[in-house]
Amino acid sequence: MSKRKGSDADIAFAIAGFALLWGLAGPGGLRTSLGLAVTVLLVAAATVMVAMFLRRLVRSAAARVVQPAERRRIEPTLFPEMSRQPAECDSSSDWQRDQRTALSGPLEWSSRLIESLEWKRFEELCGEYFKAKGYKVTMTGLGADNGVDFFLHGDEKSTQPLGVAQCKAWGSRQVGVKPIRELLGVMIDAGCPLGIFITTSSYTAEAERFAAGKHIKLLDGRRLLSLIKTLPETAQAGIFARVTEGDYTTPSCPTCGIKLVLRTATKGEGKGRQFWGCQNFPTTCRYSMPAGSDPTVD
């Protein structure tokens, strides 16, 4: 209780006590009209003081419930990383920058996420999907893939592949007929009855006509997304975690497998243009490609 509240109570009780003494021992006591009037006034004043004291006491108790002395901290259940910062914070704090970075990342499966995957991570996504469907997946590895990114087998013991798959992370650029013809050649070479071409984008009408009737399945980004969403939620979550781990947008070197570095040409006809170059340049790898293009290996 504060000093002010204590003094209010003391004054109220003092007035009440004085009124009682006046009524009993004052000039004429309660027997005179003057004594009676003074006593009534003093008792009324004491009553008002006591009422004010009680009202202030109730307000103080309510304030302690609504506004605790110590600032409450956020205790989120869906975003545990937010628990390390109070609800009120400076807009320029490191914590808020961390939150903006976290929230700008992928939160769920979407066509936009699939389109943003770099080529190597996209291949891994496609392979993980078929693994989740129960197939044995054999990736061809780094370097020239000869038109195939992985083989599909019925089970772990099978040596003869059931199908061949080619993946192209081309953003929104359409796939023409040429890569589909190459895939057919690989199918004939490997003796595979099925060919699967998967892209982040879509196909030209010519490519679709060529694939028709040749046991070649064309999957675009939206179709792949719908197939992924048919998997059990636990399988979807596992694939999502692997695909979005670390840097999943910067292209990898097709020769070394490490992330490329964005550079700017300083001489020649392409001076001023940006390109992706291997981090191992020029010691062990001289691979480079124009920014915005699909990695290729001769």
Render pLDDT for 35-64 as a digit per residue (tens, 0 to 9).
666 566 666 666 766 666 667 765 665 545
Lowest mean pLDDT among 30-34, 49-53, 229-233, 294-298: 294-298
pLDDT, position 58: 58
**Average pLDDT value for residue range 261-289:** 81
pLDDT, position 36: 65
- In the sheet with 288-290, reading across from the earlier edge strand, the strands are 261-264, 274-277, 288-290
Q: Are 25 and 39 in contact (CB under 8 A)?
A: no
**Average pLDDT value for residue range 248-262:** 85
pLDDT, position 281: 81
pLDDT, position 275: 81
In the chain, the percentage of residues whose pLDDT exceeds 90 is: 35
The residue among 268 and 218 whose pLDDT is bigger is 218
Domain 251-298 class? mainly beta
Q: Does pTM surpass 0.85? A: no
pLDDT, position 28: 53
**Average pLDDT value for residue range 210-223:** 94
**Average pLDDT value for residue range 164-187:** 92
pLDDT, position 19: 55
pLDDT, position 210: 97
Segment 73-131, tens digit of pLDDT: 333 332 233 233 333 333 334 434 333 334 445 678 998 999 999 999 999 999 999 99
167 — pLDDT class (breaks 50, 70, 90) = very high
SS (HEC) of the chain:
CCHHHHHHHHHHHHHHHHHHHHHHHCCCHHHCHHHHHHHHHHHHHHHHHHHHHHHHHHHHHHHHHHCCCCCCCCCCCCCHHHHHCCCCCCCCCHHHHHHHHHHHCCCCCCHHHHHHCCHHHHHHHHHHHHHHCCCEEEECCCCCCCCCCEEEECCCCCCCCCEEEEEECCCCCCECHHHHHHHHHHHHHHCCCEEEEEECCCECHHHHHHHCCCCEEEECHHHHHHHHCCCCHHHHHHHHHHHCCCCCCCCECCCCCCECEEEECCCCCCCCCEEEECCCCCCCCCCEEECCCCCCCC
Q: pLDDT averaged over the chain? A: 74
Q: What's domain 111-243's architecture?
A: 3-Layer(aba) Sandwich (3.40)
